Structure 1
Amino acid sequence: MRGDLRAQYEAYPYPERDPRDEARRLVTGSPGHLDEVIHFGFGGRLDAARPFRVLVAGGGTGDATIMIAQQARDAGLPMEVTYLDLSDASLAVARARAEARGLTSIRFLRGSLLDLAGLGPFDYVDCCGVLHHLDDPEAGLRSLASALAPGGAIGIMVYGTYGRTGVYPLQDALRALTDGLDPPARIALAKRLLAGLPPTNWLRRNPHVGDWRQSDAGLYDLLLHGCDRSYTVPELFTLADAAGLAITALIEPARYEPGTWVSDPAVLKRAEGLDRIGRAALAERIAGNAAKHVCYLTRPEDAASAVAAPDGPDVVPVLRDLDGPALARGLKPGAALEAELGGVALRFALPRLAGPILARIDGRTSLGAVHAALQDLDSRLGWDAFMTQYDELYRVLNGLNKLVLRRRAHRS
């Protein structure tokens, strides 16, 4: 299978990227966003006294590699990034993107994530959209775990079964129709089939999968891939367990809470009796829109301390892709936050002090300092009352993966 995979990505590097675009935007996502990695994998702490060692396994055209290397440079965090991929064509695109940004902390290697002997150890291993294309995903995840440094974390993305409704019947249909054709001919025939799909076709009716509309590389990766499987939540936990790993967080956390999707108190009361996996699986089945699963993993002995918590005045709140003061200006006391999650428009109730708190979150100011600033406005606001307000805000924004935490102390 490895030769077939390489041939596909030599012909159609994925995702399709133009290095010239680096001058106007940084592609960000999950896993691998630096603030997210620190929060969900390292308890909010990093040791800035030495380079943070990163492996991007199956780096493709470079999205995760460029993102984390650029974010580390912007943050002044020393980092050594190793990019690894089977495809020379994909590697060339990723390297050109790094050169366009002047990123010099990246080592580019061609190879397989199944052959990591001599590499590492790494503090963080990123593997986005790769494991589900392996003949043996469990072996792939075990290989990644073998390269992990003590106390390290892994971020992965795999396909979700329910949100990809319609993909696999069409894969089967195209496998039968395109057998023996070269890649360009397979693409051409697939386009003809897609153009004439009846309104009853499940892929045509699925708003959560659009790769086939965006580029030839996206179409090939979605519908003509030679090895492709998907996961439900229970299967994802089984995959992690088989590799000797524990899932510390599912991203975004709110996706995996039944209360995000239903409000009936009788339903939610029954859901309270489910364990963590059961609740996440229930949310997945109710929503039906998870076309992928993003999660962070550690060794089991590190899992309890992997995710940061707002548990003291020295914790520093960090907004991801949000401007706190700008958001605060648009909020009235008692206002709700409108957000989109998996194609669903949702409203989340916010606490009374959401605006004043958000106005003071800048990625540098600790919770203690935010509280002190609010006490200047209301001397009666004690720490416990402040934290009640902050915890409500944190639950909403962290659930949407928009508010994470750093700690001032360094991890040794």
Structure 2
Amino acid sequence: MTDPVQDQYEAYPYPGRNPVEESARLVTGSPSRVLEIDHYLFGGQRDWNQPFRVLVAGGGTGDATVMLAQQLHDKGVKAEITYLDLSSASRRIAEQRLAARGLINVTFLNGSLLDLAAMGLGGFDYIDCCGVLHHLPDPDAGLVSLAAALAPGGGIGIMVYGEYGRAGLYPLQAALQQLAGDMPLAEQVTLARKLLPALPVTNGFRNNRFLGDHQRGDAELVDLLLHRQDRAYTVPQLATLVAGAGLRIASFIEPLRYDPGLYLTDPALAKRAASLPMLEQAALAEQLAGNMKLHIAYLSHSDDTVAQPAPEAIPLFIDWEAATIARAVQQQGGIKGAFDGLPVTLPLPRQAPAILKLIDGARTLDAIRQQAGFADWDSFMAVFRPIWRALNGINRLVLRF
């Protein structure tokens, strides 16, 4: 990262967080929920009685570090977590947040992820790198550095910007740089806030309803509009970045967003799309949707790290409660929601509520099959398969063996 970028995060630690709020909420999200890590990178079979080494590369004000530390503590895992960031101001906030929770299993370091090889930290079972690679002078070198820091069998959770959902942003960044790039950063913030409501009605950023982070605070405005080093990726560009580091995309999050069948109502077109390789399907879905401002993915050196439905698999909800979702599906006939402004309706079989209410984090799929009254596995899967596509597709249902 360049010196102006480091200076930015010293002046405006990102994201804006108040350690006092730790008593009221735990900020969660993807990547790096422990249930996701297990499902997408370890086939739902990791032995959590074994030690778990984590690196948060570009820890910022601590969202991923706090979430991982708290979840691993609650799970009783013997975890060793390393936080790494260039910004001392961001690190102080992260340290205060961990201290507010009484979590002590984190080592804090200032430095660049590009220098990991020289740090001698050893191999990590999991690396979180959320919102960092796209701010590096050389993202390819950054991901190569992370890949080299993995322990055998380990994996990475990343978030990078998506190009199409950020339409209109980069011309505005360039305009602000031209108008105010020689000003102190605080004065640039003031000018940007004056400019935004006066943008022409034809301005691309003004018409992009997917970008609103700048409305939350000054740190968010600086990160979005005044960043000196910022790029975005299409799916093919991300795939090239990942392959260049000797890694594979285990899964995108949420998987359903990368299924072109979600956007194609014509059966013949949907069939043609379904015949494409996985990454080509994802690229097509991104082009059709047009609103993906982020790409979240899990990466691994190996193939087939994602858990798949099997009789002995235990389904687990992420942040949902079985009775509530079963009741909602009963009333609506499926799942209704939105992906960044895109309304989504996912019809489910009429037997879905009876299956969903049996998901308790302990029953296997075969036990659920028997209790739901299905005579054999094939007849059960005919009903469960669309449930799985929908709920795993929106990242609400994973598997554990």
TM-score, shorter chain, exceeding 0.5: yes
1:309 aligns to what?
A: 308
Residues 44 and 307 of structure 2 are in contact (CA less than 8 Å); yes or no, is this contact kept in structure 1? yes
- Whole-Å separation in 1 of the counterparts to 2:52 and 2:102: 19
Query: Which is worse superposed, 360-369 or 228-237?
Result: 360-369
Are 2:261 and 2:274, in contact at CA under 8 Å, matched by a contact in 1?
no
Partner of 1:28: 28
Give, in angstroms, the shift of residue 99 of structure 1: 0.9
Q: Residues 204-234 of structure 1: CA distance to partner in whole angstroms, max 9, x if unpaired?
A: 1111111111111011001111100000000
Q: Which residue of 2 aligns with 1:71?
A: 71
Query: Which blocks of at least 5 consecutive residues in structure 2 are unaligned?
Result: none
Provide the residue aligned with 1:155 in structure 2. 157
Matched, 1:190 2:192: yes
Q: Check conservation: 1:334, 1:350, Cα contact below 8 A.
A: no
TM superposition shift of 1:333: 8.4
Checking the alignment, whether the CA contact within 8 Å between 1:317 and 1:403 is kept in structure 2 is yes
Match of 2:177 in 1: 175
CA distance in 2 between counterparts of 1:273 and 1:405 reads: 26
Paired residues of 1:334 and 1:351 also in contact (CA < 8 A): no
Paired position in structure 1 for 2:352: 354
Q: Is the CA contact (8 Å cut-off) linking 1:333 and 1:353 kept in structure 2?
A: no
Instruction: Give the match for residue 404 of structure 1.
Output: 398
Bigger mean CA offset, 26-35 vs 161-170? 26-35
Supply the distance in 2 between the matched residues of 1:73 and 1:361 (Cα, whole angstroms): 24
Query: Which residue number corresponds to residue 17 of structure 2?
Result: 17
- TM-superposed CA distance for 1:372, in Å, is 3.0
Q: Deviations over 1:354-400 (max 9, x none)?
A: 1111111122222122223223xxxx632322222222211110111
Match of 1:80 in 2: 80
Q: Where in structure 2 are the equivalents of 1:208-287 lying within 5 Å?
A: 208-287=210-289
Query: How big is the shift at 1:331?
Result: 3.0
Give the Å deviation of 1:334.
8.6
Aligned residue-pair number: 399
Residue of structure 1 equivalent to 2:383: 389
What letter matches 1:270 in structure 2? R
Q: Does 1:102 align with 2:102?
A: yes
Q: Which residue of 2 aligns with 1:295?
A: 297
1:365 maps to 2:354: no
SS at match of 1:114: helix
Bigger CA drift: 132-141 or 22-31? 22-31
Deviation at 1:244?
0.9
Q: Which residue of 1 aligns with 2:42?
A: 42
Equivalent residue for 1:410? Answer: none
Deviation at 1:161, TM superposition (A): 0.3
Question: How far did residue 332 of structure 1 move?
Answer: 2.5
Kept in 2: contact 1:334–1:352 (CA 8 A): no
Which residue identity does 2:82 align to in structure 1? T
Partner of 1:140: 142
AA paired with 1:303? Answer: D
Three-state SS of the structure 1 residue aligned to 2:372 is helix
Which AA in structure 1 matches 2:266? D
**What is the CA-CA distance between 1:261 and the residue it aligns to?**
1.4
CA distance in 1, matches of 2:372, 2:287: 42
What letter is aligned with 1:282? L
Instruction: Tell me the secondary structure at the aligned position of residue 369 of structure 2.
Output: helix
- Which range moved further: 242-251 or 260-269? 260-269
- Aligned-pair identity in percent equals 52
Deviates more, 1:88-97 or 1:189-198: 189-198
What SS does structure 1 have at the residue aligned with 2:113? coil
Measured after TM superposition, the shift of residue 95 of structure 1 is: 0.8
CA distance in 1, matches of 2:193, 2:37: 38
Partner Cα separation in structure 2 for residue 33 and residue 398 of structure 1: 14
Measure, in 2, the Cα distance between the counterparts of 1:138 and 1:180: 29
C-alpha distance in structure 1 between counterparts of 2:366 and 2:253, whole Å = 28
- Kindly state the Cα deviation for residue 57 of structure 1 after the two structures are TM-superposed: 0.1
Q: Match for residue 114 of structure 2?
A: 114
What's the CA shift for 1:75? 2.1
Letter matched to residue 148 of structure 1: L
Q: Confirm whether residue 374 of structure 1 aligns to residue 375 of structure 2.
A: no
Aligned counterparts of 2:269 and 2:366: Cα–Cα separation in 1? 38
- What is the distance in 1 between the residues matched to 2:238 and 2:354? 39
Distance 1:334 1:340, change over 3 A: closer
Rounded Cα–Cα distance in structure 2 between residues aligned with 1:151 and 1:291: 30
The Cα of 1:279 is off from its aligned counterpart by 1.1
Which stretch shifts more, 173-182 or 330-339?
330-339
What RMSD, in angstroms, separates the aligned Cα atoms of the two structures?
A: 1.4
Match of 2:318 in 1: 320
Aligned to 2:330: 332
Contact 1:374/1:381 (8 A) holds in 2: no
